[in-house]
Amino acid sequence: MIIWQTLPFNKLSTLQFHELIKLRINIFVVEQTCPYPELDDKDIIDDVYHLVGSQNDEIIACARLLPAGISYENVSLGRVATKETARGNGLGHQLIIEALKQCEQHWPGKTIDIGAQEYLQTFYQNHGFKPISEVYMEDGIPHIDMRLNK
């Protein structure tokens, strides 16, 4: 069973933050062979929340929930990741469902924007997101901006 928590930076334990960053670096830097500055100072901004999914006391999924005006004009999701060994059983879908639920709780009725890796476009469309940009390169990976209107 997955335990979901949504916490601001100052409520994450040191161990949770370590595991969260380790998961993100393992996915976005190591697995995707994409060196980039993972610590972009957005994690510590007031009103930014970290959604973590844990199983057996290990973080296996995460997403960053950002208020309007930080990454996009609208509320946004970022740093959406699932541990490689936990994939293939619908965890990514559970993560997005929980992230959208938490966004609605924190910012009711607000539009949500994401910068999705292009290969995940259909995945996000299954959750109601629609493309709002052409494909563009970010850190050497094709991305597309998508929006979920409320």
Which among 36, 79, 76 has a CA at the least distance from the CA of 61? Answer: 79
The CATH number of residue 47's host domain is: 3.40.630.30
Residue 32's domain comprises 3-148
C-alpha distance from residue 2 to each of 8, 70, 83, 94 (Å): 19, 29, 13, 9
More confident residue, 37 or 98: 98
Contact criterion met (CB below 8 Å) for 129 and 146: yes
The pLDDT tens digits of the residues spanning 21-47 come to 999 999 998 999 888 888 899 999 999
Structural domain count, the chain = 1
CA atoms within 13 A on the CB side of 25: 10
Return the percentage of the chain with pLDDT > 90, whole number: 89
The pLDDT tens digits of the residues spanning 99-134 come to 999 999 999 999 999 999 999 999 999 999 999 999
